Amino acid sequence: MIEVALDAVITVDADCRVVDFNPAAEHLFAYETEAVRGREIGDIIVPPTLREAHRAGVERYRRTGIAHVLGRRVELEAMRSDGSIIPIELQIHAIDGVEGVRYAAYVRDLTQARRTAREIAEQREKLHQAEKLSAMGSLLASLAHELNNPLAIVVAQATLIDEMPEDRRNPGRIAKVRSAAERCGRIVRTFLSMVRQQKPSRAQVSIETVVAKAMEIGAYGARSAGITVIPRHGPDVPDVEADEDQITQVLINLVLNAQQAFPPDDRERCIWIETRRADDGVHIVVADNGPGVPPDLRPRIFEAFFTTKPAGAGTGIGLAVCRNIVEAHGGRIEVGERPGGGALFRIVLPVGASSPKTEAGEAITAGRPLSILVVDDEADVGGTLAEILDRDGHRVTLAVGPAAALDLVGHEHFDMVFCDLHMPGGGGTALHAELTLRAPDLARRFVFVTGDMVAGPARIARALADAAPPVVAKPFGRDDVRAAIATVFAEAAE
């Protein structure tokens, strides 16, 4: 039976020396049975990096009789005759016979299974991105309006300040300009963070912040359609450990679904977003007073490609993506009926473990000014950053482009660098690479500044495989700049 088995079967004696390779094992490891018979199995198929652990495990089993692998399925790496490494699933069983105890190792090659899993994950990610782009496309008109409103304030108030520079009301106008500009920045950052492809990044996240971001992007379309969006936050809702952009995307999808489900009639239409703490975690509830989800459809509502929308009106992957995101965070998403009628979606996320924020960066930089090099080919942008740093007491030198920066580094001392990502001459990544050769300590105290938060982070990751400098997104404020400095020096202290 072993000779015709589809899986590789290797039989060894009590000294772990090969007794037999079945044909599948010969094919998998590219050895003839006669070439390996009598040899120690660890020298044949165990990669060199794992041999010491293998021998220690065998010796422990001989000494104590306690087996960590025997009878269990384990996944590990094995080596073929040409030295190539392959992933395998292994299960070992002891066999009592007239010649004493022997051990049969059943080996399955996982190469194709791993490749298939990667392809499925890639296709799932492509569907995820397609759903995000579909959702963002439906929000573009609302986004333009949401940006034009604060931009109208910026232009009008700046005009009044310019025409009446001595007017006593100018401080209030300046505050309005700043508030409107910050709102524009928040909207753009939220939108771009939703569209860009990036690996999930977990951190302590305020659920109220997530709801605010989702409403800033998704609620205008509802309001313009005559739908009232009402947020309600319970007391003492703790943070969760989550990817803020992904949870924001889930809420935007749920708000869009609720908006699209309303029939075009004159009745009052509302969407509620509620947050509260419960015994099983943090609850986020998105409910509406629309037609609801029929009970017979609720078991299938989170299936991929299942949709109740007319043909061409939906992909049927939005709620499946929502479920996958929530479950990847260790939570769950449920659908039910709102008391009084309508749909109710409940997200339950585990409470995040409280982790004190490091203050190492602030401690290192507190009480002393830094010598900072700012590099940007647009003097107005670089000059604005330099002014912010100067107001904090730092000594700032502005270099217009990478060439000028390298010339300055050659004969001046700097504690750190703020550098624009996209510039002629290779940009910030080329400057960082050059500093790694010329001034490696300075390269470790490097901050990228960019307005490209879609492709920019991926470009940095490709160019700097072994480093991950902080990134300050444009538009930036004083707090963003201070946080970047603290991060740089906190990492330097580790």
How far apart, in whole angstroms, are the C-alpha atoms of residue 175 and residue 5? Answer: 77
Is residue 78 within 8 A of residue 107, CB to CB? The reply is: yes
Q: Which residues of 45-70 are buried (b: 16+ CB within 10 A; e: fewer)?
A: bbbeebeeebeeebeeeeeeeeeebe
| Domains assigned to the chain | 2-109 (3.30.450.20), 118-349 (3.30.565.10), 365-493 (3.40.50.2300)
pLDDT for 285-337, tens place per residue?
Answer: 999 999 999 999 998 888 866 666 554 444 445 788 788 889 989 999 999 99
Residues 6+ apart with CB under 8 A from 227: 259, 262, 269, 270, 271
Assign 3-class secondary structure to 107-124: EEECHHHHHHHHHHHHHH
Name residues of the chain where pLDDT drops below 50.
Answer: 311-316, 355-366
* Residue 64 confidence (pLDDT): 87
Residues 6+ apart with CB under 8 A from 427: 402, 420, 421
What integer pLDDT is reported at residue 492 of this predicted model? Answer: 62
Contact 412, 397 (CB under 8 A): yes
Question: In terms of Cα–Cα distance, which of 284, 286, 302 is closest to 350?
Answer: 284
Listed in sequence order, the DSSP H helices in 282-438 are: 318-328, 360-365, 379-391, 402-411, 427-438
Q: How high is the pLDDT of residue 352?
A: 75
d(CA 70, CA 61): 10
Measured distance CA(384)–CA(49) in Å, rounded: 53
Rounded to whole angstroms, the Cα distance separating 480 from 489 reads 15
In this prediction, residue 90 carries a pLDDT of: 92
Ramachandran area for residue 65 (φ above 0: left; ψ -120 to 50: alpha; else beta): left
CB neighbour burial string for 6-43, b if at least 16 within 10 angstroms, e if fewer = ebbbbbbeeebebbbbbebbbebbebeeeebeeebbbe
pLDDT at 101: 80
